Structures are given as C-alpha cells and as structure tokens.
C-alpha cells in the first residue's frame, strides 16, 4: 500500500484521491476550502485544511513521508507554482503537478518536478485513440515509443490461433497475456487458440501495434 498526498481537491484532485483509495492506498487530501475538506473527510484517509502557499503550513503536513505528492491545484497557477517551490525547498522527493498551460509547464520543467500532467490534453489523446482504434480498451506508454495495449478479440476470430493473428507481424510485438473471463494465461504459446471476448495484452512499438489492432476486429 502506497501513501499519497493530493494538494487541491477540485474535480481532478478528488477523482485521483478516490481512485487511489479504491486501489487500497493511503491518501492525504489538502485544500483551502473547508467545505471541500469536510466533504472528503469520510472518503479518504485524511483530509486537512491548509494554505499550501505557506511553507510552514506545508512543512507541518509531513509530506516527506509520502511516496508522491500530487499538486492538483486548478486555475490558481500562482498558488500552484508557489506550492511547488515550497515543496522543492522542503526536499520532497517525488512531485507530480497538474498544469493548465504550456507556460506553466515550462516553469515546472525548470523546477524539476517528477511529472507534469495535462489532464485535458491527455484525455483528448485517449479519446482520439479510442475513436480511431475502438478495439483498444486501454493503453499505457512505458517510454521509448513502447506501449502496452489491451485489445478485445472479436467474434470473427473465434477459434483462431495466435500464430494466424500474428502472421506477417514483426517479432517486436510480444503477447504478454490473454485474459479469458477469470482466467489469465501469461506468455501464451503461439498455438494458443483465441475465443471471442478474450482480451489480449500486447507490448510493442505504437506504430506496429496500430497495424495489428484492425486484425482483431
């Protein structure tokens, strides 16, 4: 179980906090709005009111004990940046920050935060991918152009082997596992026979993955 601190309990911060709780983690939520904090008090591990532009207030929260501090402050860019500056001065090791503009992104990159998040842009990209490749359930980038994708197997491929599906596909594509209802087959053999509604989890370069995805429709 990890320990996470979320600063700013707007829609983004609240959603992140609640999802982390669902995953079994411990979450400290911080906001300046007492109504927001009161609302979240029974839903996350700890919820506190604090002025995060005040270095001493941040220091009192003991944020160095958390695995990651997520700064999810929305429209108040000045407050977000000041909060990050204080966190860096407190030597908080891992800081993720929500950014709302490219100017803010540039400043945050100079401050050396671990990750800068653009929720609207990232969601827009995911929606575009979903529209273009509806057979792809989910995907995650692991860097260097490599992605792990989750693809539904269509009814048309009932009884088809992996060797047939992967025919003429570069060997840079790796089948990590096949999910069939409650059963999971890790590194299935090439002769593995697919069933409709199986879920394939593949690893490979994005361009190559895009070529194989339509074959599974």
Model pLDDT for residues 79-128, shown as the tens digit of each residue: 999 999 999 999 999 999 999 888 999 999 999 999 998 887 666 655 55
Mean pLDDT of 32-47: 95
Q: Cα(7)–Cα(14) distance, rounded to whole angstroms?
A: 10
pTM for the model = 0.67
Q: Please provide residue 86's backbone torsions phi and psi, each rounded to the nearest 5 degrees.
A: -65, -40
Report the top-level CATH class of 131-216.
Answer: alpha beta
What confidence category does residue 138 fall into, taking pLDDT thresholds of 50, 70 and 90? low
Residues near 131 by Cβ (< 8 Å), separated by ≥ 6?
A: none
CA angle 145, 147, 151 (to 5 degrees): 145
Q: What is the pLDDT of residues 171-216, one digit of tens each?
A: 778 889 999 988 999 999 989 999 988 888 888 887 777 777 677 6
**CA 188 to mean position of chain CA atoms:** 27
Residues 101/75, Cβ–Cβ less than 8 Å: no
Is residue 132 scored above 60 in pLDDT?
no
Query: Does the domain made of 3-117 have the CATH classification 3.40.50.720?
Result: yes
What confidence category does residue 28 fall into, taking pLDDT thresholds of 50, 70 and 90? very high
Q: Cα(148)–Cα(106) distance, rounded to whole angstroms?
A: 28
Is residue 131 scored above 50 in pLDDT?
no
Domain assignments of the chain as residue spans, ordered by start: 3-117, 131-216
CA angle 197, 129, 153 (to 5 degrees): 15
**CA 198 to mean position of chain CA atoms:** 24
State residue 202's pLDDT score. Answer: 86
State residue 133's pLDDT score. Answer: 55
Token reading at 54: 């005040």
Mean pLDDT of 130-151: 68
Cα-only R_g, the chain: 21
Residues 145/205, Cβ–Cβ less than 8 Å: yes
Is residue 129 scored above 70 in pLDDT?
no
């Amino acid at each position: 179980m990890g320990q996470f601190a979320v600063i700013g309990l707007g829609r983004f911060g609240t959603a992140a906090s609640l999802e982390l709780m669902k995953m079994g983690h411990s979450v400290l939520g911080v906001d300046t709005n007492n109504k927001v904090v009161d609302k979240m008090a029974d839903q996350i591990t700890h919820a506190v009111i604090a002025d995060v532009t005040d270095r001493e207030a941040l220091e009192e929260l003991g944020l160095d004990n958390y695995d990651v501090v997520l700064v999810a402050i929305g429209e108040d860019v000045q407050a977000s940046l000041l909060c990050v500056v204080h966190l860096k001065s407190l030597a908080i090791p891992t800081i993720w920050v929500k950014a709302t503009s490219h100017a803010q992104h540039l400043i945050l990159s100079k401050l050396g935060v671990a990750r800068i998040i653009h929720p609207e842009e990232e969601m827009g990209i995911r929606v575009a991918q979903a529209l273009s490749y509806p057979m792809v359930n989910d995907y995650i980038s692991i860097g260097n152009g490599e992605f792990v994708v989750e693809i539904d197997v269509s009814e048309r491929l009932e009884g088809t082997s992996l060797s047939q599906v992967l025919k003429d596909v570069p060997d840079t594509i790796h089948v990590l596992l096949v999910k069939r209802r409650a059963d999971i087959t890790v590194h299935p053999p090439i002769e593995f026979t697919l069933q409709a509604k199986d879920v394939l989890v593949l690893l490979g370069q994005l361009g190559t993955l895009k070529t194989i995805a339509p074959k599974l429709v």
